[in-house]
Structure 1
């Protein structure tokens, strides 16, 4: 397939970018652009050139398939292509529809003129990968749209519809009709105009308040960027466009780009970008696997989780039947959904019309008979195998043939759940994370007999409802909660040894976790973990008990919902306040165990909790529960508040160095009272550390 197509239309050479799906500027396309520009230059019958993409995308920027390969920088690189466009003797017009982002926008900025559809999406999103535009974006965009607009676009990385930029010099024409015809007509017209051709690089930024504005921007971005260096570098690069000649600004931009590219923060964000895309691929499920039609969904359970799950589908325009056993619980669930939408409306995120449309898609019911005709059913009932069995045996009776039967279980054996039906091939785990209408992660649990078309269907459905789906095999807790158990175990051990809940939470939050383990437990509800622990105690009689956590639950301290947990909470507030009663419980448990509390450093807290995640993650990979290390990282980035600038537990271990991680684990095992069995490094971790290889 040719990367770019060439034809002549009424004396205008039309070069069509042809690298599906978003015209990524890969090496083949870059070579083709340079060659076809030269062809147009040498043809005396050609008066002007139009660069055009597809309706979906002018160009989405760099070709993701070339990330991390020599091709990404091989000549002609993007800078070379843009120079060829900018220095062309004949006018070059960019005809823009769909996505015009990153390098694609930088290419358009290098053209002499730009014609766009009103709904085209314009962005320089590089900051979301921890870098900045590296082919002149920070120098050319401010010259066309002004400092304020350019800086907001570059620092946020967010897309803006072309229509919103119609009053700037970015576009020479905004059109609603045939883009190609409009661009060709425009090109023929400008070909007759006086030379020299205008170049964006030659424009001087005129802004009498530029200097104080840029200082304000520096202060604002420095206060909000926190762990990420890219936003502040963006400000400095845009400032160079204001203060410096174009070539000097380009040099500053390029140096910043290369410096950011080597930072661990950029590595983490690029890892997440590629990891999300990798997670969607299942090795033994072909991309062309036929999908089952999902036109109506039913959800069993109208509690917080069930209501949140239902909202995901309502938001996507998919009708939902919401089943509860009691009218009071059903009405409470409906009221909760409406309240969530009303809160969004108050914040300006939703209109009254949208609220009404979504609520109209929701059918409440107290009868299983009303859900039988739906294409997918998701149960969100109490986390108990006996309860799940009752539900799935009922579903087996009422659901139509070919319907997908899904469980929202967070820990239970999906193979057993599937065995409660006569159609185990139709059963899959869909583990949403609370609050389900907000959290991006969806763990897709593949049971032994789950059909491939079921997997393919729910993975595609996850995209529809804007979730990051990660496939997990069957084990207790799957990927996320299985690892979380060991993270929490270490937090509990550190508590017994001398740290306080406040110190442990504070240390991990300072390191970057969205919430420490004890605050997170209070938010989620301590009774959930207690229920799981009691089941595990029964299944594993020799298992060490979490004495302090169990005692809190025995006292009815279940967290924020009861006003007391690891912390105490004032009515109507969520501030976690230290509680002397908890301190007494901890002290008593230490005394009973014969433990003399010691001083624990914040560094030890972080290393033990995070390396516990890493070690169990390595075992999960060994067992094939996760398909790849980056899948584990996606689970923790999108479901557990792991800091984005660290890229997930497995990438973080690589950043630290796997030999150093193994050494630390062995040191923890050797500490007085250390748990040697717990801190035995996973065999694959030791192997990788010795060989110098990595997870990813």
Structure 2
């Protein structure tokens, strides 16, 4: 059926009104679409020739949910989805939801308000609201447990995950699977409902489908979620709503309670932060001056140079997406170890039930190993993931420039080095960019794409599109030391060492940062990443004259590395390790005290948790403003995506730049100046960035 340009297309087939949502690309439930659905339902109800209604989505999906932009006002304009569902429930004509693609959030709630639901076999359904800091606000917490039981309702609504149509049918979320044409089958289902003479099923009239240990079930499900994000308000509200539904109250009272909880969440800081990240992630892929119609280069086979931890992770990223990979390592034994490590990872996943034997066989079948650079000649994209050393990377890329076919893309996985210098070594700089994966590469969502001075538009556009194909969120960075994330990390780690030399302990610092919401404290993070790796980068930068003329700069990490305290892999770093468990080590405090004495750094016993957080986080934010001014990052939201997706910054604060806005830029600037006075700041570490000062002046 051709779209009419109206929000809802209305046709009648075999005495069934077919209402097709026509709001591409996701049929989001904007006010105009909601109003059109309500009007179309009234038309169907008043049409004597219509005996039933089918509600379906046009385009790629049934309905992707609410129009999130409306949340900014703090209220939902009428008619809301609850009004539409009430209208369907009181009709004396059956309403059938015909689901294809996805039914998410408000879209799934709309479907649950229909009398019956039928879906294509590849359709998916779920409630992603918790990821935006809210809950289903149109009866999702009240109807779902009545249909499928409290266990699955908690799982779906607390996790935000979606399930396939087959599971949805088995669990009672939908009523039928389409075996032929979805619309034809939906009309047939609607007509059978008309002819059966049975009362029309209404989810809100079903008894609550609970369990004998309801309270324990809700508590256990909530505790599991809060272990990851203990301060998250949305999961707590979801649990309250489901518990309220289970308490035996009238269904209408449950809807009122749910709506009150929804509106409170929608206006709080956590939801605003998560919505900021939602939109920032979508904006990040929009690159100014990148032609929208640029022809993408095909990527059907990928080459990876280096079979170490990073190379293996990158290889699995592509294998998991069904893309053939050639893994190259010059040393045959190292290559074999790399291949076996990939196989072992997949075997472990199979043993845990996370993939089938067929999936394992298929993915390993896509992997080809080699010790010969000539085997890169049929690859469309080759990523070097060798040792973080400029000379080595230049040599590798020079070789790739010789053996890769014309049009092949060459990428460097460097985390700090100059991409333009590496690109020039290839002899074909327009084909080169940075693809900075985060470890473990097959798990971490972030891919920092570094655009070189000569990177061709088609190369950049191709890699951005490829990132979506392999399930990564991307941010494009300009060329500088450390790009966006690692450049900002440097100031964070600088203050870490200074605080340790002043008298704070690793455990105290980690606890303070983890209480803020960081996924891992800086000392644990450094021990896991490898102190020696970081110290080696510092030594190279020192040799280049790129470090401040400050003998105390990152002095502790370099001292620990020189002593062989390389982190978790060595059994000692900032901590001592029993297996993988970090244990406080008094020797670290002695080393820090000795360094402080040598460097003339006063020891203190008045360091507070608040100072620890300010000393580490505010310089990091300040560096973000410098990065924005230089054009290394295109938008503040890009920086927020890098830090929340790649460095464990708490998403509930929206990322460092959003957090700074929430604190107040004037307050951030004032506190930096205070810290500068407190520390003496001979090297300008706390001097507010010019761009920050201008922003403060503009808002004064």
* TM-score normalised by structure 1 residue count: 0.94
Q: How far apart are 1:542 and its partner, in Å?
A: 4.7
Residue 561 of structure 2 is matched in structure 1 by: 553
Pick closer, same or farther for the CA change 1:182–1:615 going to 2, 3 Å. same
Q: Given the alignment of the two structures, is residue 199 of structure 1 paired with residue 207 of structure 2, yes or no?
A: no
**Residue-pair matches, total:** 688
Give yes or no for contact 2:317–2:470 (8 Å, CA) kept in 1.
Answer: yes
Q: Which runs of 5+ in 2 are unaligned?
A: none
Cα distance in 2 for residues equivalent to 1:72 and 1:255:
11
Larger deviation: 16-25 or 519-528? 16-25
Give yes or no for contact 2:377–2:403 (8 Å, CA) kept in 1.
Answer: yes
- How do residues 109-120 of structure 1 correspond to structure 2 at under 5 angstroms? 109-120=112-123
Residue 584 of structure 1 is matched in structure 2 by: 590
Cα distance in 1 for residues equivalent to 2:443 and 2:54:
43
Q: 2:410 aligns with which of 396, 405, 426?
A: 405
Residue 598 of structure 1 is matched in structure 2 by: 604
Pick closer, same or farther for the CA change 1:170–1:216 going to 2, 3 Å. closer
Q: Given the alignment of the two structures, is residue 387 of structure 1 paired with residue 392 of structure 2, yes or no?
A: yes
- How do residues 228-239 of structure 1 correspond to structure 2 at under 5 angstroms? 228-239=232-243
Residue 145 of structure 2 is matched in structure 1 by: 142
Residue 290 of structure 1 is matched in structure 2 by: 295
Q: 1:619 aligns with which of 583, 607, 626?
A: 626
Q: How far apart are 1:123 and its partner, in Å?
A: 1.2
Residue 161 of structure 1 is matched in structure 2 by: 164
Q: Given the alignment of the two structures, is residue 524 of structure 1 paired with residue 525 of structure 2, yes or no?
A: no
Q: CA RMSD in A?
A: 2.1
Task: Encode CA deviations 1:505-546: one digit per residue, 9 max, x unaligned.
Answer: 221122221211121111111122112111221222753232
Q: How far apart are 1:222 and its partner, in Å?
A: 4.4
Give yes or no for contact 1:285–1:452 (8 Å, CA) kept in 2.
Answer: yes
Cα distance in 2 for residues equivalent to 1:158 and 1:551:
46
Q: 1:645 aligns with which of 646, 649, 652?
A: 652
Residue 477 of structure 1 is matched in structure 2 by: 482
- How do residues 167-206 of structure 1 correspond to structure 2 at under 5 angstroms? 167=170, 170-194=173-197, 197-205=200-208
SS in structure 1 at match of 2:96:
strand
Pick closer, same or farther for the CA change 1:634–1:253 going to 2, 3 Å. same
Cα distance in 1 for residues equivalent to 2:504 and 2:682:
17
Q: How far apart are 1:71 and its partner, in Å?
A: 11
- How do residues 235-250 of structure 1 correspond to structure 2 at under 5 angstroms? 235-242=239-246, 243-250=248-255
Cα distance in 1 for residues equivalent to 2:242 and 2:150:
7
Residue 538 of structure 2 is matched in structure 1 by: 533
Q: How far apart are 1:550 and its partner, in Å?
A: 1.4
Q: How far apart are 1:137 and its partner, in Å?
A: 1.2
Q: How far apart are 1:197 and its partner, in Å?
A: 4.4
Larger deviation: 242-251 or 71-80? 71-80
Give yes or no for contact 1:537–1:543 (8 Å, CA) kept in 2.
Answer: no
Cα distance in 1 for residues equivalent to 2:563 and 2:442:
31
Residue 45 of structure 1 is matched in structure 2 by: 49
Cα distance in 2 for residues equivalent to 1:143 and 1:564:
53
Q: Given the alignment of the two structures, is residue 610 of structure 1 paired with residue 614 of structure 2, yes or no?
A: no
Give yes or no for contact 1:670–1:676 (8 Å, CA) kept in 2.
Answer: no
Give yes or no for contact 2:147–2:209 (8 Å, CA) kept in 1.
Answer: no
Pick closer, same or farther for the CA change 1:387–1:228 going to 2, 3 Å. same
Q: Given the alignment of the two structures, is residue 75 of structure 1 paired with residue 78 of structure 2, yes or no?
A: yes
Q: How far apart are 1:391 and its partner, in Å?
A: 1.2
Residue 656 of structure 1 is matched in structure 2 by: 663
Q: How far apart are 1:655 and its partner, in Å?
A: 2.1
- How do residues 357-376 of structure 1 correspond to structure 2 at under 5 angstroms? 357-376=362-381
Pick closer, same or farther for the CA change 1:182–1:334 going to 2, 3 Å. same
Q: Given the alignment of the two structures, is residue 23 of structure 1 paired with residue 31 of structure 2, yes or no?
A: no
Cα distance in 1 for residues equivalent to 2:646 and 2:583:
25
SS in structure 1 at match of 2:582:
coil
Residue 59 of structure 1 is matched in structure 2 by: 63
Residue 459 of structure 2 is matched in structure 1 by: 454
Give yes or no for contact 1:406–1:430 (8 Å, CA) kept in 2.
Answer: yes
Cα distance in 2 for residues equivalent to 1:169 and 1:239:
20
Q: How far apart are 1:116 and its partner, in Å?
A: 2.6
Task: Encode CA deviations 1:365-395: one digit per residue, 9 max, x unaligned.
Answer: 1111111121000011121211122112111
Larger deviation: 187-196 or 553-562? 187-196
Q: 1:324 aligns with which of 311, 324, 329?
A: 329
Larger deviation: 71-80 or 329-338? 71-80
Q: Given the alignment of the two structures, is residue 343 of structure 1 paired with residue 351 of structure 2, yes or no?
A: no
Cα distance in 2 for residues equivalent to 1:224 and 1:393:
48
Cα distance in 2 for residues equivalent to 1:382 and 1:308:
15
Give yes or no for contact 2:74–2:263 (8 Å, CA) kept in 1.
Answer: no
Cα distance in 2 for residues equivalent to 1:434 and 1:32:
48
Q: How far apart are 1:163 and its partner, in Å?
A: 2.3
Give yes or no for contact 1:214–1:235 (8 Å, CA) kept in 2.
Answer: no
Q: How far apart are 1:54 and its partner, in Å?
A: 4.4
Q: How far apart are 1:205 and its partner, in Å?
A: 2.2
Pick closer, same or farther for the CA change 1:409–1:170 going to 2, 3 Å. closer
Larger deviation: 583-592 or 608-617? 583-592
SS in structure 2 at match of 1:392:
helix
Q: How far apart are 1:408 and its partner, in Å?
A: 0.5
Q: How far apart are 1:676 and its partner, in Å?
A: 6.7
Q: 2:518 aligns with which of 510, 513, 519?
A: 513
Larger deviation: 399-408 or 560-569? 560-569
Give yes or no for contact 2:497–2:555 (8 Å, CA) kept in 1.
Answer: no
Q: 2:262 aligns with which of 257, 261, 267?
A: 257
Larger deviation: 605-614 or 161-170? 161-170
Q: 1:569 aligns with which of 550, 571, 577?
A: 577
Cα distance in 2 for residues equivalent to 1:206 and 1:81:
24
Q: Given the alignment of the two structures, is residue 151 of structure 1 paired with residue 154 of structure 2, yes or no?
A: yes
Residue 129 of structure 1 is matched in structure 2 by: 132
Cα distance in 2 for residues equivalent to 1:340 and 1:589:
42
Give yes or no for contact 1:324–1:366 (8 Å, CA) kept in 2.
Answer: yes
Give yes or no for contact 2:326–2:370 (8 Å, CA) kept in 1.
Answer: yes
Give yes or no for contact 1:222–1:232 (8 Å, CA) kept in 2.
Answer: no
Pick closer, same or farther for the CA change 1:345–1:619 going to 2, 3 Å. same
Q: How far apart are 1:435 and its partner, in Å?
A: 1.5
Cα distance in 2 for residues equivalent to 1:234 and 1:117:
29
Task: Encode CA deviations 1:40-73: one digit per residue, 9 max, x unaligned.
Answer: 2332211111101247421111135x34456983
Q: How far apart are 1:576 and its partner, in Å?
A: 1.5
Q: How far apart are 1:244 and its partner, in Å?
A: 1.2
Larger deviation: 475-484 or 112-121? 112-121
SS in structure 2 at match of 1:166:
helix
Cα distance in 2 for residues equivalent to 1:208 and 1:455:
53
Cα distance in 2 for residues equivalent to 1:397 and 1:173:
57
Q: Which runs of 5+ in 1 are unaligned?
A: none
Cα distance in 2 for residues equivalent to 1:4 and 1:220:
39
